[in-house]
Structure 1
């Protein structure tokens, strides 16, 4: 237990160090300046900030629809507003206080608390919810890379090999998921896996996590609908990001190019290199946007971070209210003291 705690604190320390280094590089290279912050709060920028905030909230409404749809597949009915509150709570932990407790862990905890039978099945749904978000982002990034490779851009040419590597990684991810679904569709395979997991976990909460995950494999229509919702979410997120491009006076590429490079940045930025991906996403954006002739990538993604932080603030109120609601006396919340941020919200 002590070793695990030490390891966890060491990882947080390393991630925090990388975040500070990334921010230092951004300021040293003047990708971010003091003016980047003062510019955001000018009165004439408020309409664009509000539009971007609207896009973010809309994406969270879609995220709630996806979560509700997936939960219904295991006969767990979640009221829409309750699901929305859980998403905002998760975002609060992922974005505002990253590195301490992961947002998915908090959401999973509250869902498990409300489960009457098979406690833990909803955690399998939370995992699938995250997987579908990553797959949708990977799908859009794959299309974006194909588009970017067609551009006759000298600055972009030096990134061609890296883009091919990303394409291979995306292809491998989809192949693995498809193989997983195909094998999961065979009843005898599911039966053998069920026997194995029963022996390993002995009807513990981890068994029901796998149980919930397994139910979804058989309901492909639900998975397809959830995947399409995920793509819509990412497109709305990109539109919110594009709104913020109006806040800068620097060179901005065409709309399609901007959306393409931003989707790749969002995919790479979802890798949990730093707490809440602070500094890391902005650094990737600085390189990505410069490859298509713009020096404002870090600035725009910083503005998007400010928007997401502002919109996630109600998560603290929702968390406190949720913690009090239906909570038995002397309920143990120590589970929320472990875990860490899992990266960008997909």
Structure 2
């Protein structure tokens, strides 16, 4: 009897030791994975910083700095102030668009709260690599705000950006095609217009086939990912949200109209930035440049698009006959206006936690 009790005690100790060893291995593996992710993120930021400063250094080595500073000294601050106002108008209209999409999903939110989250997104778009990083931060806070509708609010933000992107491509392609004859002496700009047109068609094709692709993904998850039911549930929720949007024609049309307002505000911001530098550029050229810059900055290959944006502007304006000093001044001034508005978003981020409890509007 005593021997059996000792045997059971030894077996129990072995099981506890094995459990502890398994837990230790799991913890160790988790820490290694987290360490690899942190190391990857660190080196990713280092690489993006090198890309930004390498491109800026290269552009700077080609400039006549005396001419560049003479342009900077002649900046008209009144026009620059108007550019800042239109930069602010973009955020106001985009927050109204997102509120409209949430309303279609029966998720009530105050207009001020939608604006706060839009400003927080702006701040992190400037603070993090790429031009869309702030959207993921906005998704995080939106899910925290609506814990029962995490998938719906996440999809609404992504769909909001998708509408903005599609309207952006359509506007840029339309302006480019309407004034294509004026580009006979600018082959680079002609190629840019064709690139925009091709990208627009591919995006519209993707949008048309998106529900079918998601349903196909659900079938694949049922067949091969049976253990991870969460994947199937998320895909099903996304399809449901898109089905709701599909039958809200009026609200989607209104969201597209607001997107047109967002992009026209961006174009007018560029108009006033160019006016502050005493540049006389046609509206259609600024529209095409705005689209190209927005697309390039959204790529997570540099810090806030620095260097990549400036190189693109110098190339696009250079093909139209604008000297690189003036083109670089236009790019840096546009970036400064945007970054100043984004830094104001940092104040919204700092006060967000205090105001979160009063953010959701009560259903009427």
Shorter-normalised TM-score: what interval? Answer: 0.7 to 0.9
**Deviation, structure 1 residue 14:** 2.1
* Alpha-carbon offset, residue 206 of structure 1: 7.4
Residue among 292, 305, 314 paired with 1:277: 305
| Matched ranges for 1:70-89 at <5 A | 70-89=101-120
Larger radius of gyration: 2
Once the two structures are TM-superposed, the CA of residue 113 in structure 1 deviates from its matched residue by 1.4
> Which residue among 246, 254, 265 is the counterpart of 2:275?
246
The structural deviation recorded for 1:215 is 3.2
| Secondary structure of 1:49 counterpart | helix
* TM-score relative to the length of structure 1: 0.79
Q: Alignment partner of 1:325: what SS?
A: helix
| TM superposition shift of 1:238 | 0.6
Consecutive unaligned residues of structure 2, counting only runs of 5 or more, are: 1-32, 358-364
Residues 93, 262 of structure 2: 8 Å contact kept: yes
Give the structure 2 partner of residue 180 of structure 1.
210
1:18 Cα deviation after fit: 1.2
Corresponding residue number in structure 2 for 1:337: none
2:88 to 42, 46, 57: 57
Select 1:91's aligned residue among 101, 112, 122: 122
* Offset, 1:222: 2.5
Residue 42 of structure 2 corresponds to residue 9 of structure 1: yes
Residue 13 of structure 2: aligned partner: none
Instruction: Give the counterpart of 1:256 among 277, 284, 290.
Output: 284
> How big is the shift at 1:162?
5.0
Contact 2:218-2:232 within 8 A present in 1 as well = no
What is the match of residue 6 of structure 2?
Answer: none
Query: Is the 1:144–1:264 contact (alpha carbons within 8 Å) kept by the matching residues of 2?
Result: no
The whole-number CA distance in structure 1 between the counterparts of 2:332 and 2:356 is: 38
Identify which range, 9-18 or 234-243, moves more after superposition.
Answer: 9-18
Structure 2 residue aligned with 1:225, among 254, 258, 267? 254
Deviation at 1:211?
Answer: 4.8
Q: Which deviations, in whole Å up to 9, do the C-alpha atoms of 1:321-341 show, x marking residues without a partner? A: 1123347xxxxxxxxxxxxxx
**TM-score, structure 2 normalization:** 0.76
Task: State the alpha-carbon separation in 2 of the partners of residues 35 and 320 from structure 1.
Answer: 41
1:100-111 correspondence runs (5 A): 102-111=133-142
CA separation of 1:262/1:319 partners in 2, compared to 1, >3 Å: closer, same or farther? closer
Partner in structure 2 of residue 294 of structure 1: 322
1:266 maps to 2:323: no
Aligned length: 318
Secondary structure of the residue that 1:75 maps to in structure 2?
A: coil
CA RMSD of aligned residues (A): 3.3
**Cα deviation per residue 1:146-186 (whole Å; 9 max; x = unaligned)?**
135322542x12453454234222211112112336x599x
Distance 1:152-1:60 versus aligned 2 partners, 3 A rule: closer
Taking a change above 3 Å as real, the CA distance of residues 35 and 53 of structure 1, as seen in their structure-2 partners, is farther
Distance 1:268 1:145, change over 3 A: farther
Question: Is the counterpart of residue 147 in structure 1 residue 178 in structure 2?
Answer: yes
Are positions 1:130 and 2:158 aligned together?
no
Of 233, 241, 263, the match for 1:234: 263
Distance change (3 Å), C-alpha of 1:106 and 1:91: same
Is residue 234 of structure 2 the alignment partner of residue 201 of structure 1?
no
Q: Which secondary structure state, in structure 2, belongs to the residue aligned with residue 276 of structure 1? A: coil
Determine which structure has the larger helix proportion and give its number: 2
Q: Is the 8 A contact 2:317 2:327 kept in 1?
A: yes
